[in-house]
Structure 1
Amino acid sequence: MTKTCSHRFSNRLHQKLGLGTWQLGGPNVVQGKAMGWGEINEEESLDILVTALESGIQFIDTADSYGKGLSEKMVGKALRTANFTQDVIVCTKFGNVYLPDGSTGQDFSVEHLMASVKASLDRLGRDCIDVLLMHSPPDNFDWENYDSHPFEDLVRQGLVRQYGVSSKSVYGAKRVMDAGFGSVIEVIYNVLDRRVDEILSHHPQREAYDIIGRVPLGSGFLSDRWLTEEPHFGEDDYRTYLADRDKNWMLENARKLAFLADLPGGLSANALRFSLQNPQIAVVIPGARSVSQVHANLSASNLPAIGQDLVDRIVQAVPSVPDWWKPSK
């Protein structure tokens, strides 16, 4: 078992590029519907993780529900296999559960918390979870009556270093900050969805939190490929089941940012660069379904910062998210 406990992860990072591993859980079919990113074999998953670790990526994001624990197992195997010297920070999540009838639900009880931590530690082969997040609780979660003491007990026991929430939306993240729960928030941030800047950046509790930027490539819609092609996703890819209006909005607005494709690295690299250069974000966690995508993400992290003129142009091209993504008044 690897001993890795201390405090705030942002103080331990040498770079802001991390790796998301949702895709390493495979299709993850629940009641005939894919909850993952499609087939990927374990050898390829291991190559992706080992390449990331040996290339200096320190932050690995996973969850116990990604492939029903498969992603965590692959992360644990990579940590035992890779030849790396840097401090590695592993973030995992709990709370999404599979019910006896084959459907999914959520359980954030103390009993499930304790069982989940033990199971995740076993799969990861670690003595301590660097970052433990509640996995997508409802935005209207009852924080006033939710007891954080069990999480603090886990910190005191050395089983968890930091805890917080992976939020469904930025509005749920704001409510986490309002309640002062934990010290880590994971939230969507990319060139199409910049609400972190508007809603969280000036929050009075902002400095108490490390923010993890997820979905930096807009669920794959911020791809040079889709500037000229129509996307088609397999039946084992969760994007097949996205609402048409969401898919259409993402594609239409990604194409409004085609001017980023004219820069070195192309659209995807500069979209990633945009998220990486935001001082509000502690770490950015793009996924990768191949070793070449890991290298592409690393190359993007070494590009020069996007200038203010281009940031202004991005804001003018895509002023805001669609109204149906915003809470009803």
Structure 2
Amino acid sequence: MSKATSPRFSSRLHQKLGLGTWQLGGPNMVQGKAMGWGEISEEESLAILSAALEAGIQFIDTADSYGKGLSEVIVGNALQAATYPQDIMVCTKFGNVYLPDGTTGQDFSSEHLYASVKASLQRLQREHIDILLMHSPPDNFDWANYDRAPLEDLISQGLIRQYGVSSKSVYGAKRVMDAGFGSVIEVIYNALDRRVDEILGQHPNMSKYDIIGRVPLGSGFLSDRLLIEEPNFGEDDYRSHMADRDKNWMLDNARKLAFLAALPGGLSANALRFTLQNPIISVVIPGARSVNQVKSNVMASNLDALSQELIQRIEQSVPSVPDWWKPSS
């Protein structure tokens, strides 16, 4: 179906809370560098997915590169074992590849697209993919000359239902909207990084898109634990390789939002609450590394909206992202 005749997927969801599954791919080491979130057992991963489905979560976000396909396999196994009647929507991604020399690259060609969809469907054990996203193409990607026909062909075959882009940054997301490519954009949005509001919120093509809000807990920095502890990420956690100035900015500014910790649920729940109540966002996809984290996310989704006074206090406490996250021109 084309975007013109299909409903917004947000209207199909009973709640805006989804589940991200990057963490279910494990450490995902590439040339000795972690590309994932650390060790997690398949048993725990399946328990997380089961808890999410049982709680009524209908939207699962994954990618063919998470654990080199492992996340998709686990999602597929969990959905096959599920006895819940919900119409589960699965979003996956393609384009990041592992090269023979052990490095990574990107391939958005039609040949790789068709092969990726076939492989993802097999791992997910599904007949179609609800949403297929290009996975982090460069912000300056040449949309004018990219052939969309293969993606439309996959829709006509019933193999995918919508397509779009998981953007590296909100600036890349704006270029996707400028080009009118696809109907779904996945982009960072949280209490520390609210650029979606100013850069996409008033875009003339905004109404044509469903927006998936990723990293709603600021890569785990919007954590009650980190209000009193220093971060200690293991070598199998990608955050151990973050630049110090990024880690320090995230930690310092998350602590400026400590007043949210005094509210029911604590800092994490209320940071998630902030993201969930933004009308621009169709669905929010926090990850979870335990069943308790799933329960905390569900609890946050059931809280009343933050007051306008609290929203203003968040905006005043962290008025903007650091300059080095912004374009140089």
- Which bin holds the TM-score, normalised by the shorter protein? over 0.9
Q: Percent identity?
A: 80
Q: 2:184 is aligned with what amino acid?
A: V
Counterpart secondary structure, 2:63 = coil
Q: Paired residue for 1:224?
A: 224
Distance 2:147 2:91 in 1: 21
Distance 1:304 1:257 in 2: 19
Distance 2:149 2:7 in 1: 18
Q: 1:9 is aligned with what amino acid?
A: F
Distance 1:184 1:147 in 2: 17
1:145-185 CA-partner distances (Å, limit 9, x unpaired): 10111101100110000000000000000000000000000
Q: Paired residue for 1:257?
A: 257
Counterpart secondary structure, 1:212 = strand
Pairwise CA distance, 1:54:
1.4
Distance 2:291 2:278 in 1: 26
Counterpart secondary structure, 2:91 = strand
Q: 1:117 is aligned with what amino acid?
A: V
Inter-CA distance 306–268: structure 2 relative to 1 (3 Å threshold)? same
Q: Paired residue for 1:133?
A: 133
Pairwise CA distance, 1:7:
5.4
Distance 2:35 2:16 in 1: 27
Q: Paired residue for 1:3?
A: none
Distance 1:230 1:68 in 2: 31
Aligned partners of 1:73 and 1:123 also within 8 Å: yes
Pairwise CA distance, 1:279:
0.2
The yes-or-no answer on 1:215 pairing with 2:215 is yes
Q: 1:298 is aligned with what amino acid?
A: V
Q: Paired residue for 1:195?
A: 195
Counterpart secondary structure, 2:97 = strand
Pairwise CA distance, 1:80:
0.7
Q: Which runs of 4+ in 1 moved over 3 A?
A: none
Q: Paired residue for 1:235?
A: 235
Distance 2:254 2:38 in 1: 23
Q: Paired residue for 2:124?
A: 124
Aligned partners of 1:21 and 1:60 also within 8 Å: yes
Pairwise CA distance, 1:235:
0.5
Distance 2:77 2:18 in 1: 18
Pairwise CA distance, 1:8:
3.7
1:63-78 mapped onto 2 (5 Å cutoff): 63-78=63-78
Number of residue equivalences: 324
1:245-279 CA-partner distances (Å, limit 9, x unpaired): 00000000000000000111100000000000000
1:1-329 mapped onto 2 (5 Å cutoff): 8-329=8-329
Structure 1: any 5+ residue segments left out of the alignment? 1-5
Counterpart secondary structure, 1:271 = helix
Aligned partners of 1:7 and 1:162 also within 8 Å: no
Distance 2:87 2:147 in 1: 31
1:104-141 CA-partner distances (Å, limit 9, x unpaired): 00000000000000000000000100000000000000
Distance 2:17 2:39 in 1: 25
Q: 1:218 is aligned with what amino acid?
A: G
Aligned partners of 1:62 and 1:91 also within 8 Å: yes
Pairwise CA distance, 1:86:
1.0
Distance 1:226 1:125 in 2: 38
Pairwise CA distance, 1:51:
1.0
Aligned partners of 1:8 and 1:162 also within 8 Å: no
